[in-house]
Amino acid sequence: MLELKVKMLNINLPVGHRILQECLPLYEYAWFIEQVRAYIESGMTRDKAVTLSVQDSIREGIFKDFVRKHGSEVENMLYTQFNLDDALKVRYEEGVEDGMELGIERGQLRYLIHQVCGKLQRGDVPEKIAADLLEDEARIAEICELYEACGRREDAVCEQLEKQKDRE
């Protein structure tokens, strides 16, 4: 078996890791990224920040030859990376929203099951329970049948209906 140990280094300029003093290309990369971040933090759009950072790099002699030869490629690559970062952030936010909705739905279902089971324990019939709770009779009948099939265990009814909902 192969074991790999990795040491991560923070090469952001404000941190000033000593490797930046020893490796000029790495320092120049960190400098460039810091310029982009600073422009964005000052309120500039991402595209404008990247463009100005490329111009600053040429003026300051950072990545001088590389940026002169490949400046448009650098900009395109950075736009792509920042767009990916934006897309991942949106995806995360949508996932949180979906999770919240799912949690609310499950909470409402569990509350309905709790109410139905309580009324069954008091001797109510499915038709009366549906009328009292202003719910569809078929839905209440399904919960009542599952309650009996699951040995009158409310938690088992919740599990069954959540599994069923997940399959839909």
- Mean residue pLDDT across the chain: 86
Domain boundaries, given as residue ranges, for the chain: 19-92, 99-167
pTM above 0.85, yes or no: no
Angle separating helix axes 64-121 and 154-167, nearest 10 degrees: 140
Q: Which residues contact 20 (CB under 8 A, 6 or more apart)?
A: 11, 13, 26, 27, 30
The more confidently predicted of residues 54 and 100 is 100
Structure tokens at 49: 């920040």
Q: What is the pLDDT of residue 77?
A: 67
What's the pLDDT tens digit per position in 19-48?
A: 888 888 888 888 988 999 999 999 999 888
Contact yes or no for 24/37 (Cβ under 8 A): no
Contact yes or no for 67/57 (Cβ under 8 A): yes
